[in-house]
Every structure is written in structure tokens, then in C-alpha cells.
Structure 1
């Protein structure tokens, strides 16, 4: 194994590792557990290396959230592109993505969502993302019924977090089907 001095430097790989470790810690222990020391140790780098990529913990968390939202954007855009019916396509993609998350993704998003009330910066990031997506899809996804479907999906997902993993998959699949049917 190469020592730190012999390793080929790959700053982008270090940045990705730091973000992945931050998300892993947030998913396991909550957003408050994401610390500079914890993330740098989990990524196997010094705190100085972390600070080379992120000015502070908030910058790390902001970048982690931005990355998660970009992943969500890609998933949504893929689902929208595959949907043959334009009307309600964003809402169907949103419902599908939200109610079919794997357990690791659910834990990470759960940690973020549970922090929205305490973390104003995080709440602002989420609100800005959602507002942008709703404006982008205003022609296909405006209207009370589609808004109610999205809000119901949020509520079903949030409720499932307390129901436990054993019941979540079956319940959410049925709810997802009913909500998607409402969008046509």
C-alpha cells in the first residue's frame, strides 16, 4: 500500500469520498453527527485535506445536499423522459422516486428532512430546488390535484419512516400506485 507521500493525488476522488462519508454519517446518525473530524476520519484524510475542499462544515453539508439534489434531478429527468404522457409527468416521477428509495437513500433523506425545521440553510436549499422544479414543470404539473398528490407522497414517505422497514415496501408500493393513478 502506498503511503500518503507515494499516493497519486486525486483531488476529485478525495472530494467525492468526503461527500460520500458525510452522507453516510448523516444517514446513520443524523445531520448533527456530521463533523469535520468524523468525516475526515471516515474518508481517511486529514482535517486539512477536508478544509482544502470545503471552507467549513456548512460548506461540506451544502455540497452534500446539492449533490443529493443533483442525483434526484437525474432520477426525475430519466423518469420524465420515459413517461409517454406529458401531463403530470413530473408529479409521477416525484412520487415514484420518493416512494421507491432504497434503505440507504431513505436514511440520508430522512436525516436531511428531519433537519429542515432547525437548519434554515437546508430548508432554503430544499425550497429553492422544489420551486425551480415546479416552475420548470408548470406547463405539465400545475394544478391542485397534482399538488395534493405530491404532498400526499411526502406524507406517505414521512409516515413510513416511523413504520419500519418491514412494512414500508408493501405499503408504499400500494400508495405509490394509487397516487400515480390520480395523476392521469
Structure 2
């Protein structure tokens, strides 16, 4: 099998069920951003320290789930042969919520906005968080025009919260201080 198809030479790509779309299509943008996010998560994994290695298996699981999200986003709303991979039955969103709740127990209370940064792992996780938010915006943009798998949107929404929590916990593990935004009023009570 050849890795190149030459379809892209005219600015198009083939999605699941063989529909051909422009690479600028909202559907292609949404699953492409998920792919980009998955690459950043891989980078985060490769940069884990001894202390933050505790995140390794969870981040690998997140990569698997992101691939499922991208697969579902790549399906045309007219396709009927393949059911969605990402469903409420896989309990992925609930799993993220449980991870967020567990790590939050170990964190100092946050009252003000926090600047992205701290240790390297925390910084990488903040990049993951912001790319997740961009992916979410592109999925919302797509769903205004076409049906999507709404379980994907729920998961992506929760994933950004998870990355925020993991970034904070990475700083705790590494003994790095969080930097509050200096002009932030108390917003979290």
C-alpha cells in the first residue's frame, strides 16, 4: 500500500465511507485538530520526568480515546455502515471526571487565574489544554452545520479540564510554584 494518494494535490482528502472533501472543510478541520492534539499529548508523554511519570498510562489512554474521537468526527453524517466508536457506554467522560476529582484532592485551592507554566510537564499540559479548547471550538463550528457524535464534544470539553488539573498536579509533584495572573480578582470561591 502506498502512503500517498495524490488526492491532496488538488486540496482534497477522502474521509471514512469514501466521501471526498476539501481539506478546509469543517469536518476535516475538526478531526485534524484532534490529530494535532494527539501529537502534542505524545510530546507530553515523551517529556515526562521521573516524578510526573505517574501520568504516563493515563495519557496513553487519552491518546487512544482521541483517536476514537477523530475517527467519529471523520465520518460523514450520511454514512450508515459504521457505528460510532465513541459512545456513552465507554464511560470515557466519567473516567476523566474521576481522574479530575482524584487529582483535585491533592491540589491547593485555586482562587485566581493561573498563568500557564511551571515545570516542563505542566507547561506541556497547558499546551495540550489550549489545543483541546481549539479542537472544541472547531467541533462546535462543525455541529452548527452538520450532525456530530455529541459524546465526542462532551469528552473534549472535559478533557481540557483534565489537562488543567494534571498541569496543576505536575507542579505539585515537581515542587514548582504556580504563578497567579497579577490582575486577577478572586474568581473561584
User: Normalised by the size of structure 2, how large is the TM-score?
Assistant: 0.33
**Larger fraction in helix:** 1
Higher relative contact order (CA 8 A, sep 6+): 2
Q: Normalising by structure 1, what TM-score?
A: 0.34
